[in-house]
Amino acid sequence: MNARPAFDLIFRNAVTRSSPTPIDIAVAGGKIAVIAPHLVCEAAEIDVAGRLALPGFVDSHIHLDKACLLGRCGHIQGGVSDAIRAVAAMKRDFTVEDVYARGSKVIERAIVHGTTRMRTHVEIDPRIGLRSFEAIKALKRDYAWAIDLSLCVFPQEGLTNDPGAEELLIAALRDGGEVIGGCPYTDTDPDAHIETIFNLAQQFDVDVDLHLDFDLDPSWSHMEEVCRQTERRNYQGRVAIGHATKLSALPPDRLQAPTTRLAKSGVAVTVLPATDLYLMGRDATHNIPRGLTLAHRLVENGVLCSVATNNVLNPFTPFGDASLLRMANFYANVAQAGIGEFDACLDLVTELPARLMNLRDYGIAVGNPADIVVLDTDSGPNAIAELPEVLMGFKRGRQVFERRRPTLFPPA
């Protein structure tokens, strides 16, 4: 009797980051069942033809609730505080339907660019209340067929200076908030802000993801306090900081100490190239500093890092298509990464943010969900160099999108 194993789907001739020689990936029950060359079995087949298969991109830091605001904010050409003020004014008028509509636009673009996991920050304060939170919870539910969305609730405009914000944060953490964020630099008492966020994190047993050190003045920093709190509470591996642009202002000899500190305390760093490059260095009239912390160099020194989208089409960043491959290419270009470092740049939008988010079932490996995207290229470094099309994507073994390769029509 023929004992060929039956699978739901099989990807033929896929190159993966661990296998430059094409292999087959079999899927059963939404999970990866077997990875082997020339599998003999009964299943629907997709011939990947030597192209690169990835387990999807992981966006560890995005703001779905305040995306796509360009049409309603006029021409804002300022720094960080101008952007915060502009969004604070618009936020009062946000409705659940409005946040849902704008967020769904971005989430759909992320899906068709191959993102399979995402952590979105959601602003919680007395002006917006829980309206954005309710909208993003609905997005999480309605797009679960294509993407795993994790909600990080945070007070963008401060905590100790904003009566009512903490109570709302607690309400959100009781009702679906999965991570707690913060923004100490907008608080009148940054250390108390950090202390309160860590208190809530422990109380609800959630990870911490703070906006931190977002300027180019290295004479002061909140990083030491975050590392201290992380160690005090045994939170190593559960804390991330976004931006950390101050590190880009340090010469190599002064960068060593904070790098070692971050590595030792298990605090991860998320670099947000589009926003960091757009908002930093605005005092300069020429020789403008990039304000981009070199994530791949920090990784070499033991710090867990990711590169992420942050803002899309709003006063913080009036650009964006939610493509993490484009962001990694952009990062590699601006960071002047060498060809030998392109693989590390791809890690910054795949493996490393998955670790940062403590996702334990990510990757093309037997037993993991069959989250697979296929790129029109043949290796990790070429994905960064060529910015290839993402041709198709699968979530738990079900196809969620397809993109056709362009066709040329030369004259007959």
Q: Shortest gap between Cβ of 246 and Zn ion (angstroms)? A: 16
If the CB atoms of residues 248 and 310 are measured against Zn ion, the closer one turns out to be 310
- Rounded CA-CA distance 147/394 in Å is 10
Residues at the contact surface with Zn ion, assessed by CB under 5 A: 310
If the CB atoms of residues 33 and 295 are measured against Zn ion, the closer one turns out to be 295
- DSSP classification of residue 285: S
Q: Shortest gap between Cβ of 242 and Zn ion (angstroms)? A: 5
Of all residues in the shown chain, the one whose CB is closest to Zn ion is 310
Whose CA is closest to 307, among 218, 240, 261? 240
Q: Shortest gap between Cβ of 243 and Zn ion (angstroms)? A: 7
- Rounded CA-CA distance 395/115 in Å is 10
- Rounded CA-CA distance 372/35 in Å is 13
If the CB atoms of residues 14 and 122 are measured against Zn ion, the closer one turns out to be 122
- DSSP classification of residue 218: T
Query: In whole angstroms, how large is the CA radius of gyration of the chain?
Result: 22
If the CB atoms of residues 122 and 298 are measured against Zn ion, the closer one turns out to be 122
CA 304 from chain centre, in angstroms, equals 13
The CA distances from residue 5 to 8, 33, 230, in Å, are 10, 10, 48
Q: Shortest gap between Cβ of 164 and Zn ion (angstroms)? A: 22
Residue 398 CB partners (closer than 8 Å, separation 6+):
30, 145
If the CB atoms of residues 304 and 374 are measured against Zn ion, the closer one turns out to be 304
Task: Count the Cβ atoms, other than its own, within 10 Å of residue 101.
Answer: 12
Q: How buried is 205 (Cβ within 10 angstroms: 0-12 exposed, 13-18 middle, 19+ buried)? A: exposed
If the CB atoms of residues 186 and 310 are measured against Zn ion, the closer one turns out to be 310
Q: Shortest gap between Cβ of 124 and Zn ion (angstroms)? A: 14
If the CB atoms of residues 182 and 380 are measured against Zn ion, the closer one turns out to be 182
- Rounded CA-CA distance 381/360 in Å is 25
Task: Count the Cβ atoms, other than its own, within 10 Å of residue 124.
Answer: 30
CA 376 from chain centre, in angstroms, equals 22
Q: Shortest gap between Cβ of 121 and Zn ion (angstroms)? A: 5
- Rounded CA-CA distance 67/100 in Å is 10
Q: Shortest gap between Cβ of 270 and Zn ion (angstroms)? A: 8
Q: Shortest gap between Cβ of 353 and Zn ion (angstroms)? A: 14
If the CB atoms of residues 212 and 294 are measured against Zn ion, the closer one turns out to be 212
